[in-house]
Amino acid sequence: MSTDLVIDHERLADLCRRYQVATLELFGSRAQGRARPDSDVDLLVTFVGRTPGLAFVSMAEELEAIFGCRVDLLTRGDVERDENPLRRESILGATEILYAA
């Protein structure tokens, strides 16, 4: 993981519990240690139940406040169903779990 990413784990865990997150994973440049100062945070989320609809947007906004930068939030299920195998493998092949229920 990129060493410049500061995570308030307590705040992150609270958010994940409120939104019923099963797992939250980091991927992309920050997970691979290639992040630049202006890099966003790429996250994969798996919910305990169904994806929470409009609450998904609120969750992304709260994650941006926690990380202090732009967040790209995707569901793991959407990535697993992605028809582009190269994209799917590049995301799923290098993740770091930030939260697990």
pLDDT per residue over 34-56, tens digit each?
A: 888 889 999 999 999 887 888 99
8 A C-beta contact, residue 56 and residue 63:
no
Helix axes 9-18, 55-67, angle to 10 degrees: 180
* 40 catalytic residue (yes or no): yes
pLDDT band at 33 (very low <50, low <70, confident <90, very high): confident
Which positions ≥6 away from 30 have C-beta within 8 Å? 1, 2, 5, 39, 41, 42
For range 79-88, the mean pLDDT: 95
Q: Does domain 9-100 have CATH number 3.30.460.10?
A: yes
Domain extents in the chain: 9-100
Whole-angstrom Cα distance, residue 97 to residue 45? 10
Which positions ≥6 away from 66 have C-beta within 8 Å? 7, 8, 11, 12, 15
- Report the predicted TM-score, pTM, of the whole model to 2 decimal places: 0.91
List 75's β-bridge partners, or say none. Answer: 45
Catalytic residue among 4, 42, 78, 82: 42
Catalytic residue among 4, 8, 38, 40: 40
